[in-house]
Chain A
Amino acid sequence: MTGGPTFKEVYEEQFRFVWRSLRRLGVRESDVADAAQDVFLVVHRRLDEFEGRSKVSTWLYGICYRVARDRRRLAHVRHHVDDERAVAERVDEHADVAAEAERREGFAMLDTILDEMPIEQRAVFTLFELETMGGEEIAAALEIPLGTVYSRLRIARDQFRKSLTRLQARERFRDEARAGGER
């Protein structure tokens, strides 16, 4: 291997990117170490084929995308959210970790919203809004035309708002029901 980055270099520089990409593609916190391992095993096998035609990050994202999609097909996804919620609620009783619990609630909410998107939209949305990647780069990472990137982004944003509105309505309802019960 000459010229290109070594496996160790790629790992050092890109681990955090791979981790958060997997999380944002819907891999649970409890599974993400396994998934990251899978990604880097592919990287190790195929690093010689990577010829610098694209940025390392876009190449890696393609691998993350496939790993996340395959895991999603295995499907044991939903109940984990409930697990994490349950733990967060229990932890809430500790005053000193209440803030952390609230933060986890926020993550759980975001997860729930993103989980309702098809992975194609989710990828575009999270790359654009969270990773702040440019349109062309996203197009390269997902191997789709730029126009498709923007149309998916539009649809994903609509979906995001719809899910969020519904979640907030549900939570309001729950709060009111609770308040009513206490009276």
Chain B
Amino acid sequence: MSAPKRWLDDGGGATRFERDLLRLGASHEPPAAAKDAVWTALLAQIPPIPPGSTGGGAAPGAGAAKAAAAAKAAGAAGAATNGSAALAGAVGGGLLKSALIGAGSAVALIATYAIVTPATVSQPPPPAPTAIEAVGAPGTGVRSAIGERGAAGAAAPVTPETQGLPAIADSAAPLAAPAAATSAEPRADGPAPSAGRDPRGPLGVSSGPVGPMDRETRLLEESRRLTEARDALRRGDASGALSRLAELQRAVPGGILGQEREALAIEALAKSGRASEAQARARAFLQAYPQSPHATRVEAFAR
């Protein structure tokens, strides 16, 4: 049985356009941040210790403990022994699963990680772990084969991450204000009583010093609800997503994942036909967070 020639080879019998299209397809590589993001998420779900020495258990508490070890193993942040860093790992796992707003989510995950860690641990943010990969990605050679366009594509995913990180970390604290100001949702003026899910008290703390446990609780809660909203949106249930997001904003007004919530809300508004509202909030978002990793995505709704 003789093997056929490949279409991409000379004399393979494909038209020029077919070959162009295939060459483009062959050049497809993961965004620079993806590898580290998936790894971090993975480590939050698997025990890094040899099997047999842990009892397993997927309960949230056990998950956090696992994530602590995982974050340390990953070396993703220099402060991994701190509980909040471990939490970032755990939330990262959930976030990745939720893939908040599409293709940018891997970058968003890294950015989110950066939001949490420097704010609670008084250490400088770690160097972007994916920088080396971005530069040395073996795919660049293939990309250059398809011309300048490929180069533009390769550069794109790197930018928000390398440029956006410091800005995000700086803006972590005042997240609450612009989000509330631009909100068209009712009852956004004050924290609602907790739904009774959390014995530690109301989640709606938007300013002042926050203890590490409160912060963790809030993050996990936010992450969980964002995932639900995002799933609803992906199912095509834009109004369900919107009401979940509104609930989330009431429960956690000054959310640590405020940008993610707002970006998702803008998308949901657009999808439910409320284009002018989506536009207004997209513009406000871009004004408040010009360096956001979600900016590119949100820009599409601002026009």
Contacts and interface: CB of A to CB of B under 8 A. Distances in A.
**A and B held together in a complex:** yes
User: In terms of DSSP, what is the predominant structure of the interface of chain A?
Assistant: helix
A37 B41 contact: yes
Interface in A19-33: 19-20, 23-24, 29-33
A20 B1 contact: no
Interface string A3-20: 000000001000110011
B120 interface: no
Contacts of B21: 106, 109-110, 113, 164
A41 B41 CA distance: 10
A93 B303 contact: yes
A49 to B, nearest CB: 13
Given A90-B300, A132-B8, A157-B7, A36 B38 contact: yes
Contact of A34 (B3, B20, B99): B99
Nearest to B24: A106
Given A33-B38, A100-B156, A106-B21, A87 B96 contact: no
A152 B219 CA distance: 49
Contact of B300 (A76, A87, A113): A87
Interface of B: 1, 3-4, 6-8, 17-18, 20-22, 24-26, 28-30, 34-35, 37-39, 41-42, 45-46, 96-97, 99, 102-103, 105-106, 138-139, 148-150, 152-153, 156, 234-236, 296-297, 299-300, 303
Interface in A156-175: 157, 160-161, 164, 168
Contacts of A131: 26
B234 A91 contact: no
A62 interface: no
Given A29-B103, A30-B105, A106-B21, A44 B235 contact: no
A110 B138 CA distance: 23
A33 B106 contact: yes
B102 A83 contact: yes
A150 B1 CA distance: 9
Nearest to B101: A30
Interface of A: 11, 15-16, 19-20, 23-24, 29-34, 36-37, 40-41, 44, 76, 79, 83, 86-87, 90-91, 93, 97, 99-100, 102-103, 106-107, 109-110, 113, 126, 128-132, 134-135, 146-147, 150, 153-154, 157, 160-161, 164, 168
B29 A16 contact: yes
A96 B18 CA distance: 26
Contacts of B6: 128-129, 132
B30 A19 contact: yes
Contact of B1 (A37, A41, A102, A147): A147
B24 A107 contact: yes
Given A33-B37, A76-B235, A132-B8, 4 more contacts: A31-B99, A37-B41, A99-B148, A100-B156
B42 A103 contact: no
A181 B7 CA distance: 38
Contacts of A103: 24, 149-150, 152-153
Nearest to A147: B1
Contact of B139 (A16, A86, A113): A16
Given A30-B103, A33-B38, A37-B42, A100 B152 contact: yes
Contacts of B29: 16, 19-20
Contacts of A132: 6, 8
Nearest to A1: B50
A164 B22 CA distance: 12
A15 B28 contact: no
Given A37-B97, A87-B300, A44 B156 contact: no
Contacts of A31: 99
A22 B18 CA distance: 21
